[in-house]
Amino acid sequence: MAPERRYAEDAGLVLTSMGMPQAYGKLMGWLLICEPAAQSGAEITAALGLSKGSVSGGLRMLETAGLVHRVAMPGRRGTFFRMAPDALMRAAGSEKFTQFRELMDRGLDVVGGRDAPGAERLRETRDFYAFIEVELPKLIERYHRERGET
């Protein structure tokens, strides 16, 4: 198996352990390393040995999540997909943590507040996501600053 295919397979396993369907993880792994960086669904299907339906569904999900974008390829016909270099960093954006924190806030309301019996799980999870919601943007800003990008 080619090292590129092996990498995509490994990415599928790692991302499956994080709750993502294995085929989608393979797609992400492939789009992180493939050359050219923009690939058609048919090219991805051939490279990974996945079904056309798995690739189509996976690309649609990754596109909806903002991880993959459709791009034009001059001189070529069809639809091509490319992962932006910072896609995974943007995907980890604090708005997802805000949504989860808000869900925990609603849960606390349902059980009767922060100090209600049985609220410990919600409270601890809510506080963690509130912390991440505040700190993640600072980490991303620091990352860019240390790379000389700001």
Which residue matches tokens 């700190």? 135
pTM: 0.75
Which candidate, 32, 21, 81, 27, places its Cα nearest to that of 55?
A: 27
pLDDT in tens, 13-39: 998 998 889 999 999 999 999 999 999
pLDDT digits (tens, 9 = 90+) for 40-86: 999 999 999 999 999 999 999 999 888 899 999 888 888 999 998 88
